[in-house]
Structure 1
Amino acid sequence: MSIPTREGTVPWPAEMAERYRQAGYWKDITLGAAYQEVADRHPDRVAIVDGEVRMTYGELAQRADATAERLLEIGLEPDDRVLVQLPNGWEFMVLTLGCFRAGIIPVMALPAHRRHELTHLASLSESRAIVVPDVLRDFDHQELAHELAGELPDLEKVVVLGVPRDGAYALDDLLAVPDDAAASRSLVDTWDPDPDSPACFLISGGTTGLPKLITRTHNDYLCNIMATAEAAEMGPEDVYLGTLPVSHNFPLACPGVLGALLIGGRAVMLPSPEPVRAFATMQREGVTIAAAVPAVAQRWIQHQEEVGANQLSSLRVLQVGGSRLPDEFARRVKPVLGCTLQQVFGMAEGLINTTRLDDPEETICTTQGRPVHEADEVRVLDPLGEDVPDGTPGALYTRGPYTPCGYYRAPEHNSRSFLEGGWYGSGDIVVRRPDGNLIVQGRDKDMINRGGEKISAEEIESLVYAIPGVDLVAAVAMPDPVLGERLCLYVVPHEGHEVTLEAIRAHLHDSGIAAFKLPERLEIAPALPMTKVGKIDKRALREDIGSRLTTT
């Protein structure tokens, strides 16, 4: 029996919540109701484009209400959690809006997640349903979903985008056009979820093992969306291109697809950022704002330099986030792609920083921006917890109207990640300039950032230790010119044992982890360097692999 989410959620302190309400930062309206207001004003305006599908605001609203009604008809209830693992497409957005309207909470899994991650997320959230594609890129998501439903006590229902098997529900049936749109609207309007209740669960980067759940309420997430929309100067005339997995916070709500819909613009969904298709789509749809991680931005720049076609004439803003964009590529965005770069540095846990469109080129190309909201508070601290002056590297701490005060059902993590007063420590090492812009210098947490996908060193190490013959293992980031970082393993084998990269990858694959977490280099060593307190010295290992790469 799942617990109510209020028992696992850390609320904002009452005085902070009241201050945010009095200042108008929290609107006390749900995300579903906010969308309905826009749809009522512009029912015939195109809201979503997905291939040949063009869905108006009115059609999307009607389907969302019908979906909300049908989710309850199949036995789900407000405050139930639903694990959602869908590719980019109109189905994702109808389902998400339907959940918002019903008060059902989507848990935003990534398409790359497999058994290892999905078991953890479903268990931690106590999800009662899982929504998956049938078979995608040769992986049978439906088969895995049925296996999980047979193993986990709370997971009762499997919903499939495609042909359902073994008693699963067809997602197409849940998302279908309503028989009586007016009746569905009247019914769903009466449900009215609490704006302080969870709208969705995002997942953390997982720096200390498996991912944690981040509670985003309707109030705080709407604040997040509108603040980032203002920083991007997004308006009703804008066309937003979503190519990154939309279950990530960045393409979902910074301002992302939800921002486009709540502003009255248009969202174009693509399953991949592959440049030939992406560029053709931008030209056909008149895309004005697109988002990319650094590796994608670099591919787009290189593609444009190679083909030289005038397909991006409508593009005015390219947002780049997920990890730091090298300065040399940042300086090539405007001359090559012809648009303004907006650097985006933030976290699913809250704080979003961006450069502004009218900033000097030096600021745009060499910093990761400043907070998007006037109520965002930022501190840069030394190892003793003291504030450091501008220009000095330190650990980033933050709080504000869209930065939650704790992870869901994670008291131990919360004690490590949050200071008294609601200050969240992101794990980033930054330098704050006198103008308030931040420069990201790295991380103080044990994590590899592979093209925007976060890999927990601890998670990988614990799995590798299960391999016979492994005495010591350390997972570290190695620099990569395309992805920023890749995963390298240092292994000390037991005497007489041979450990190979192929064997490690096969073991990890069989463990059911996402493919992006597989190590890409193995260094066998007779011993690993240790710190004075007896811990593996990962700084020395990172320096070692960096040196090896520069000499090869």
Structure 2
Amino acid sequence: MNTSATTVSHRVEVASPIEGVVYPPTDRLQGYLEAGALTRETLADGFRASFAEHADRTALCGSDGDLTYRQLDEVTDRFAAALLALGLRSPDRVVFQLANSNELVIGFVACLKAGLIPVATLAAHREHEIGYLAGLSEARAHFVQGDDAKFDDVAFAQQMQSQIASLKWIVQARGTTRGAAHGMRSMIDEMPLNAARQALANVELDPFQVAVFQLSGGTTGVPKIIPRFNNEYLYNMRAVAQFNGYRADDVLFMPLPMMHNLNMGCCFGPFLLTGGAITVASDLQPASLVSTFQRYLPTWAVLGGPILEKLRPAIESGEMPVKQLRSVVSSTGAPKLRSILGVPAYHIFGMTEGAIMMTRDDQPQVVRDSMVGRPVSPHDEVKLFKIGTEEEILEEGVEGECAFAGPYTIHGYYRAPERNKETFTRGGFYRSGDLMLFRDIDGQRYYKFCGRTKDVVDRGGEKINCEEVESVVSRHPAVAMTSVVGMPDPVFGERVCAFMVVKPGHDAPSVAALGAFLSEVGVAKFKWPERIEVLDEFPLTKTGKLSKPLLKQVIVDKLAAEKTAVAHNHSEARSST
């Protein structure tokens, strides 16, 4: 354990604050420590203890090869020391731009052991996102995959390096090392285990310091950076593991990005703490996913949206074995999942900023079918307010804007003082922008998700900030005004629709042309509008403001009319034959 006992034993605050990070108040930290929620352990401490306890069990498995917990402990020690030998020092920030892979997990754990702070981004991000996040966090290193046949991420990292003064090192996780990159594999191979452990013994880790810079979908502008701290993120993961009853003999199937908080905080992170096996889905082709199921027989899975649709033919044919599943988790549609799979299915609701709610088998059927359950921690606090106020709603069944506080809920975004003023109540509760109501059943309070006040599109779990997309689309030379909304979709839940008013003398860009423009600007592809609707003018409220609810209704009505027309045409075609 690298935590310095002498400096941390009585201290209830971070030793060396990072400028721009909002740390929890010491009185709250003290209360959570006394209650036994928070401890004086770092996230690395928690992982080390689990790795030792479960040394001979499988930690990672899949097409990249299997690693035991002992092997994972050793390789992350060696890579952590190699990063220090490169010149990185705590609390330097490291941009992670990696697809799901063993190397991602190795890099993540190694950074924690070295006191470095991973900056969570997505492999799909481009200059628009990476440039902003790397610059804001003053990142010192950029981790890239290196073997993407469709995108030269090493050349991209070098481009970012030329634009962002703080970026000194590029680390390439896979493939033949090229350009200015340092190869992860060679860095590990050249660092002896004994030397690595001697170097790491001198690293002082602080349980009250930032462990990870996570990423928010945000409600305004570009994504926000969310500081997650060592002991609170450790508690977050332990609380989820305990609530769900994760076991060392469990096997996880969670193919969504591992740098997402959902995967990190609720799936692979808690599994690393309980000794379960984590299937690493580096290939999302249906055949590969089915093969993973056949070989490793997962007992826990996160399914829904596009992943479920990819796997449905194999499920229905019996090719994909699912009967061993102890639980399937999804944000919505648990009854549907139960009917398709014939196994238990539960809902999850949460946010990168903190609070997590889930359903489970000991809750009433109505809760498991149509609600999001209750918080995973008894220390979580939930309040519902009338929208835009701090007037609390105390009645059952009344919708309100939810706000949260607790041992693992943040107190502020990184370097975003104006946003923080808007987002937190006078009492320090985080306003999520989600709408909920509650019901008291058999002495327990349960919550139902009712919608959002936030201007985001939820595309298969990816939260896309509408204002961010609008700001970039509006740069197109043909666009006079634009407004982005979510349109309903049976697979992804929502897709991005851009309404626009075009400039005189211009034609509206096609979806493909707009995509090409956004590619040049450097916007991640999953944010690109998938439908364009041209209007002469936008609908306004009585106060003269643009009405997004009316725009959403426009696209809902159009989609319904198109569906009806298709059904009518099919009916006529059958009649004519």
TM over 0.5, shorter chain: yes
Per-residue deviation, 1:471: 1.8
**Closer, same or farther in 2 for the Cα pair 1:59/1:398, shift >3 Å?**
same
What TM-score results when the alignment is normalised by the length of structure 1?
0.94
**Closer, same or farther in 2 for the Cα pair 1:506/1:272, shift >3 Å?**
same
In structure 2, C-alpha distance between the alignment counterparts of 1:62 and 1:420, rounded to whole Å: 46
Whether contact under 8 Å (1:279, 1:312) holds in the other structure is no
Q: Does 1:107 align with 2:116?
A: no
Partner of 1:174: 187
Query: 1:490-545: per-residue Cα shift (whole Å, max 9, x none)?
Result: 11112222112233222112111111111111111111012244321111111111
**Closer, same or farther in 2 for the Cα pair 1:65/1:357, shift >3 Å?**
same
In structure 2, C-alpha distance between the alignment counterparts of 1:56 and 1:261, rounded to whole Å: 11
Partner of 1:535: 545
Q: Does 1:118 align with 2:124?
A: no
Partner of 1:495: 504
Partner of 2:346: 342
Partner of 1:36: 48
Whether contact under 8 Å (1:62, 1:178) holds in the other structure is no
Per-residue deviation, 1:272: 4.1
In structure 2, C-alpha distance between the alignment counterparts of 1:175 and 1:405, rounded to whole Å: 37
In structure 1, C-alpha distance between the alignment counterparts of 2:536 and 2:320, rounded to whole Å: 55
1:440-459 to structure 2, matched below 5 A, reads: 440-459=449-468
Per-residue deviation, 1:114: 0.9
Q: What secondary structure is seen at the aligned counterpart in 1 of 2:555?
A: helix
Say which one has the larger Rg: 2
In structure 2, C-alpha distance between the alignment counterparts of 1:268 and 1:473, rounded to whole Å: 42
1:304 maps to which of 305, 311, 315:
315
Partner of 1:470: 479
Partner of 2:391: 386
1:139 maps to which of 144, 147, 151:
151
Query: 1:354-409: per-residue Cα shift (whole Å, max 9, x none)?
Result: 00133344322211221100000001111232122221111111010000101111
Per-residue deviation, 1:433: 2.1
What TM-score results when the alignment is normalised by the length of structure 2?
0.90
Q: Does 1:481 align with 2:490?
A: yes
Q: What secondary structure is seen at the aligned counterpart in 1 of 2:18?
A: helix
In structure 2, C-alpha distance between the alignment counterparts of 1:55 and 1:129, rounded to whole Å: 26
Q: Does 1:263 align with 2:261?
A: no
In structure 2, C-alpha distance between the alignment counterparts of 1:382 and 1:247, rounded to whole Å: 34
Per-residue deviation, 1:177: 7.9
**Closer, same or farther in 2 for the Cα pair 1:469/1:54, shift >3 Å?**
closer
Q: Which is worse superposed, 47-56 or 237-246?
A: 47-56
Partner of 1:545: 555
Whether contact under 8 Å (1:86, 1:132) holds in the other structure is yes
Per-residue deviation, 1:6: 2.0
For 2:391, the aligned partner's letter is E
1:313-324 to structure 2, matched below 5 A, reads: 313-321=323-331
Whether contact under 8 Å (2:81, 2:197) holds in the other structure is no
Q: Does 1:524 align with 2:534?
A: yes
Whether contact under 8 Å (1:145, 1:158) holds in the other structure is yes
Q: What secondary structure is seen at the aligned counterpart in 1 of 2:472?
A: helix
**Closer, same or farther in 2 for the Cα pair 1:177/1:357, shift >3 Å?**
farther
Partner of 2:430: 424
Partner of 1:513: 523
Identity, % of aligned positions:
36
In structure 2, C-alpha distance between the alignment counterparts of 1:182 and 1:365, rounded to whole Å: 53
In structure 1, C-alpha distance between the alignment counterparts of 2:363 and 2:291, rounded to whole Å: 29
In structure 1, C-alpha distance between the alignment counterparts of 2:156 and 2:185, rounded to whole Å: 20
In structure 2, C-alpha distance between the alignment counterparts of 1:178 and 1:337, rounded to whole Å: 47
Q: Does 1:213 align with 2:213?
A: no
**Closer, same or farther in 2 for the Cα pair 1:449/1:284, shift >3 Å?**
same
Per-residue deviation, 1:262: 0.8
Q: Does 1:405 align with 2:411?
A: yes
What is the alpha-carbon root mean square deviation over aligned residues? Answer: 1.7
Per-residue deviation, 1:339: 2.1
Q: Does 1:202 align with 2:214?
A: yes
**Closer, same or farther in 2 for the Cα pair 1:409/1:311, shift >3 Å?**
same
Equivalenced residues, count = 540
Per-residue deviation, 1:310: 5.8
Partner of 2:360: 356
**Closer, same or farther in 2 for the Cα pair 1:221/1:344, shift >3 Å?**
same
Displaced runs of 4 or more, over 6 A:
none
Q: Which is worse superposed, 196-205 or 131-140?
A: 131-140
**Closer, same or farther in 2 for the Cα pair 1:16/1:288, shift >3 Å?**
same
Q: Which is worse superposed, 73-82 or 525-534?
A: 525-534
Q: What secondary structure is seen at the aligned counterpart in 1 of 2:238?
A: helix
**Closer, same or farther in 2 for the Cα pair 1:94/1:52, shift >3 Å?**
closer
Q: What secondary structure is seen at the aligned counterpart in 1 of 2:360?
A: coil
Q: Which is worse superposed, 510-519 or 39-48?
A: 39-48
